[in-house]
Amino acid sequence: MSDCGDSDAGWIFYKDRPDWNDIKPVPEDDGPSPVVVIAHSEKFEDVYDYFRAILQKDEKSQRALELTKDAVELNSANYTVWQYRRELLKELGTDLRSELDYVESVIKISPKNYQVWHHRRVLVEWLQDPSQELDLTGEALLHDPKNYHAWQHRQWAIKSFRLYDKEIEFVDSLLSDDVRNNSAWNQRYFIHNNHTGWSDLNVQKEICYTLEKIKFVKNNESAWNYLRGILLHDKRGLNGNGVVTSFCEELYKNRCRSPFLLAFIIDVCEEAIKKNETNSFHNVERAKELCSALATKYDKIREKYWTYLRDRFEKYVSVNGENSQ
């Protein structure tokens, strides 16, 4: 989809088509003193000059619908073209199933185009039929597992039409392929947050699942972030879940110095301090020690942040005294 199709074999300019000679093209108006004039091809100018003309006339015809198709081919991100196409589809009573097929073909060429995904969503809403959406988005994510627009459309379809049944299995397959796929971790949270819920049983199952993934790749920020998210739903908090704290201390004991592990232990220490539940593992001195280690060795790119955090723990001691140690 671009402005470079004027060499298409057999293309006839609209200005040379007898069935369009009743339309006066409307050139683009950039004002009297345009700062930057965009260099369009002759084909692009021809198509969009005629599109502006039928838009001004508010013409609702089959030829107008075909014109929008040519306009989309040249610029598939043009909101006005898609909006007018939707108006034409309604007015003409066009077969929406064939339109779904057309939009799918555009998505395959421009998978990160918001306007085409929005057009697809409107069609599905009109038809009240989401039967193709999981396959379509699944294929898009197979080519690009982090395609934001595909994920957004998939989440909309799942939530709107209650398509949760096999989504955990889909996410599992993505995480098996790439355990660092942050989008898949986000989708896993989305499923539990909107469907299965956060019962204590689900929380503990997800904790076990996540710890297994962390064992596999310890330096995986996505899994550590997901673990934090799960523990927000555990009434015991970060420092009260013995399985998690034992797991972290075992990793540390075995010389794992992933910055995400150290940062997690710091958060556990901070929560323990605030709850006045410090112990030999989780206290102010431990937090300061880990902040220093991150600043000087394990996460030097964020040295200033860890130094700031260490100073904050130091101030906490000054204000609250040695009881926080």
pLDDT digits (tens, 9 = 90+) for 42-68: 999 999 999 999 999 999 999 999 999
What is the rounded distance in angstroms from the CA atom of residue 236 to the CA atom of residue 151? 32
Mind giving me the DSSP string for 84-101?
Answer: HHHHHHHHHT--HHHHHH
Q: What is the pLDDT of residue 271?
A: 94
How big, in percent rounded to 5, are the helix, strand and coil portions of the chain?
70, 0, 30
Q: Tell me whether residue 9 is in a domain.
A: no
- With CA atoms as reference, report the closest residue to 294 among 275, 308, 312: 308
Q: Tell me whether residue 244 is in a domain.
A: yes
- With CA atoms as reference, report the closest residue to 112 among 149, 80, 66, 77: 149
Handedness of CA 241, 243, 249, 255 (dihedral sign): negative
What is the rounded distance in angstroms from the CA atom of residue 122 to the CA atom of residue 304? 47
Instruction: Give the count of beta carbons closer than 10 Å to the beta carbon of residue 238.
Output: 23
Instruction: Give the count of beta carbons closer than 10 Å to the beta carbon of residue 38.
Output: 9
Q: Tell me whether residue 279 is in a domain.
A: yes
Number of domains forming the structure of the chain: 1
Q: What is the pLDDT of residue 29?
A: 77
Q: Along the 325 residues of the chain, how does pLDDT read in single tens digits?
A: 454 444 577 899 999 999 999 999 999 877 676 676 667 899 999 999 999 999 999 999 999 999 999 999 999 999 999 999 999 999 999 999 999 999 999 999 999 999 999 999 999 999 999 999 999 999 999 999 999 999 999 999 999 999 999 999 999 999 999 999 999 999 999 999 999 999 999 999 999 999 999 999 999 999 999 999 999 999 999 989 999 999 999 999 999 999 999 999 999 999 999 999 999 899 999 999 999 999 999 999 999 999 999 999 998 876 665 455 5
Contact of 184 with 145, CB cutoff 8 Å: yes
What is the rounded distance in angstroms from the CA atom of residue 322 to the CA atom of residue 155? 50
Contact of 45 with 29, CB cutoff 8 Å: no
Contact of 96 with 103, CB cutoff 8 Å: no
Q: Which domain holds residue 294?
A: 236-320
DSSP letter assigned to residue 31: -
Q: What is the pLDDT of residue 5?
A: 45
Q: Tell me whether residue 195 is in a domain.
A: no
Among all chains, which residue has been given the structure tokens 């015809």? 61
Q: What is the pLDDT of residue 87?
A: 98
Q: Which of 15, 112, 205, 218 is catalytic?
A: 112
Whole-prediction pTM value?
A: 0.89
3-state secondary structure 108-149: HHCCCCHHHHHHHHHHHHHHCCCCCHHHHHHHHHHHCCCCHH
Q: Tell me whether residue 54 is in a domain.
A: no
Instruction: Give the count of beta carbons closer than 10 Å to the beta carbon of residue 267.
Output: 17
In Å, how far are 35, 245, 270 from 285, measured between CA atoms?
60, 17, 11
- With CA atoms as reference, report the closest residue to 306 among 320, 294, 318: 294
What is the rounded distance in angstroms from the CA atom of residue 49 to the CA atom of residue 28? 7
What is the rounded distance in angstroms from the CA atom of residue 24 to the CA atom of residue 19? 12
What is the rounded distance in angstroms from the CA atom of residue 174 to the CA atom of residue 184? 6
The length of the chain, given as a count of residues:
325
Q: What is the pLDDT of residue 321?
A: 58
Tokens of 201: 């049983």
Q: What is the pLDDT of residue 112?
A: 95
Q: Is 112 assigned a catalytic role?
A: yes
Q: Tell me whether residue 252 is in a domain.
A: yes
